[in-house]
Amino acid sequence: MQFLRCFSAPLTAAKLPLIHRTADALFDVLLAPTCDQRSERLIDALQKSPPLAIWMLDRCLLKGITLEVPTLSGMVNHVVEDLAQSLIDSLNEPVGNTMYGEVETAETVAVAVAAIRDAVEVSRRAVLWLKTKSGSLETVTEAHDHHQEVIEVARCLGLLCTMDAFAQTDASANLWLSREKIDVMQGLGSKFEPFLSSRNHTAVTAAVEAIYHGLADWKMERIGTADPDEALTAFQREWANGSAASDRLRQLTKSLCRLDSLERDFSAALEESKLQAMYKLAAGAGHEINNPLGSIAGRAQLLLRDESDPERRRTLAKINSQAFRAHEMIADMMLFARPPLPQLDQITPAALIQSLVDEMQEMTQQQDAEMVSHVTTEIATLRVDPSQLRVALRAMCTNALEAIGLGGRIEIHVSDGPLDNQEIRLNNDSLHAKPTRTLQITIRDNGPGFSEEERQHLFDPFYSGREAGRGLGFGLSKCWRIVRNHGGWIDVHSDPGRGATFEITLPVA
């Protein structure tokens, strides 16, 4: 018999059965050609398998994610990207009499049958009860949207309502069916509280009431009936026969993870070879070109010192500045291809941002623009290379200033970033995510924005969305390289005509 293992503290004792129908559904999920299709198939599989929904909740908890509005789609969004690796971690070897005794396995099967059936029925009936209440809400967009949200929360929590049964040999929904409404409401609220960031969210409260009505409706149908032996026998047979399907699933997940690892290794090797080639080019160019550039700049400065004609002085100054521009271009290539190791030091993010805003104030005023900063994080210090991070942020702010033109506005927000789920290897040689705090620096402008095609090339060296002659197109490349060198990443959001938002996320040591 096959179980899905749980690792989070609230669910570590759970024994989640994996029957062949669920294994086949996961097989189809993993083979879906796009991420959206994988998400759709996974949501469909969750609605038919409460144990799978509980396992998804466990993966979210393992990543340090609590759910403000718990929905199936919300859980899927957090898990679908690394689903194959998560399944490898959780698929134990099929269980025979060596792990569970025959009596315990029989009890586990009996409880699992009742718990799965009860959860599916309660979830379905809770949703039906809510839909009968919709009525005129369909004509009021805001109320209708909230009602739909409550339905999705009830669908999710209904599938989770018998989770205790998979950790102990107690009858599942019978735990609730004999209680008064207020006791059931309080009990369900307490049951879900460890998994929610806010138990008092209006959608959660309404969904819990719907689950109560689903329980009550299911209670009325179940009065005086017992679990038929044939249902237990059929489930046990299906569970026992699920080993072949789970073996195929295990083989597929391992193959997909190996393929993903090979692709990552190939991409990393290809990127490294490109950077090495660029570094050699930059080093050669520096050796061969910098000397002539130095001669040109030196001669232009000598001539400029004795020149009195205004027009000729402008020409000589232009020659000098362009020689330095070529020198900076070569230096930027070398910085991008092989940046120096960060000299880490503790800095105050708020102070760094404010000094950058003050430093760029003159440039901002020349464009009749505005640059403001907001700090909402409680993170007092950050361990980074101060000079490198300043270079990266200045390059990004300069890019934003050039994009907005005259009279624009740039906002810099410093806030707590999302948890970075770093992978760690445990004693059982399986990989798990270790949530790590991050700091997010968001730079938002009200400029023209950029298209999806431009977004794909934003961090390419020498790429510039501006017309010829305006900048090197190397600023964002430096920024990307420095942030990556600090273990962070950059997210970009923009639509043509609606400005651009750059989110720099850095780990907090």
Kindly tell me if the per-residue pLDDT of 58 is higher than 60: yes
Number of neighbours of residue 19 by Cβ within 10 angstroms? 25
Q: Which pLDDT score is estimated for 461?
A: 67
Q: Which pLDDT score is estimated for 47?
A: 92
Of 342 and 159, the one with more pLDDT = 159
Name the fold adopted by 345-507. Answer: Heat Shock Protein 90 (3.30.565)
Kindly tell me if the per-residue pLDDT of 149 is higher than 50: yes
Nearest-angstrom CA–CA distance, 69 and 63: 17
Give the three-class secondary structure for 8: coil
Q: Which pLDDT score is estimated for 342?
A: 81
Torsion 471-476-477-479 (CA) sign: positive
**Which pairing describes strands 500-507 and 431-436: parallel, antiparallel, or unpaired?**
unpaired
Nearest-angstrom CA–CA distance, 346 and 382: 5
* 125-134, 148-157, 178-187, 188-197: range with lowest mean pLDDT: 178-187
Q: What is the 3-state secondary structure (H, E, C) of 182-219?
A: HHHHHHHHHHHHHHECCCCCHHHHHHHHHHHHHHHHHH
Q: To the nearest whole number, what is the mean pLDDT of the chain?
A: 77
Reported as type and span, the H/E element at residue 424 is: strand 420-425
Boundaries of every domain in the chain: 3-240, 265-337, 345-507
Phi-psi domain of 407 (left: phi exceeds 0; alpha: psi -120 through 50; beta: other): left
Q: Which pLDDT score is estimated for 41?
A: 94
Q: Residue-wise over 146-185: b if at least 16 C-beta within 10 A, else e?
A: ebbbbbbbbbbbbbbbbbebbbeeeebbebbbeeeeeebb
Kindly tell me if the per-residue pLDDT of 280 is higher than 90: no
Length of the chain: 509
Instruction: State residue 398 phi and psi, 5-degree precision.
Output: -65, -40
User: Do 348 and 381 meet the contact criterion of CB atoms below 8 Å apart?
Assistant: yes
With CA atoms as reference, report the closest residue to 389 among 460, 471, 472, 480. Answer: 480
| One fold for 265-337 and 345-507 | no
Of 416 and 167, the one with more pLDDT = 416
**Which pairing describes strands 3-4 and 420-425: parallel, antiparallel, or unpaired?**
unpaired
Instruction: State residue 500 phi and psi, 5-degree precision.
Output: -140, 150
Residue 127 vs residues 96, 203, 313, 420, 431: alpha-carbon distances, Å = 38, 13, 79, 35, 37
Residues 99-145: pLDDT tens digits? 344 444 666 677 777 788 888 888 999 999 988 875 444 444 456 56
Nearest-angstrom CA–CA distance, 456 and 438: 25
**229-255 average pLDDT score:** 70
* Long-range interactions of 459-468: CB distance < 8 A, separation 24+: 459/490, 461/278, 461/333, 461/336, 466/402
**29-55 average pLDDT score:** 91
Place of tokens 């941002």: 353
Percentage with pLDDT > 90 across the chain: 7
DSSP string for 62-109: HTT--BSS--HHHHHHHHGGGHHHHHHHHBPPPP-TTTS-HHHHHHHH
Residues 357-371: pLDDT tens digits? 898 888 888 888 888
CATH 1.10.3470 for domain 265-337, yes or no, is: no
Nearest-angstrom CA–CA distance, 325 and 331: 10
Q: Which pLDDT score is estimated for 257?
A: 85
Give the three-class secondary structure for 254: helix
Torsion 181-184-187-191 (CA) sign: negative
Residue 386 vs residues 109, 142, 232, 309, 344: alpha-carbon distances, Å = 59, 47, 65, 44, 8
Q: Which pLDDT score is estimated for 39?
A: 92
Nearest-angstrom CA–CA distance, 170 and 105: 14
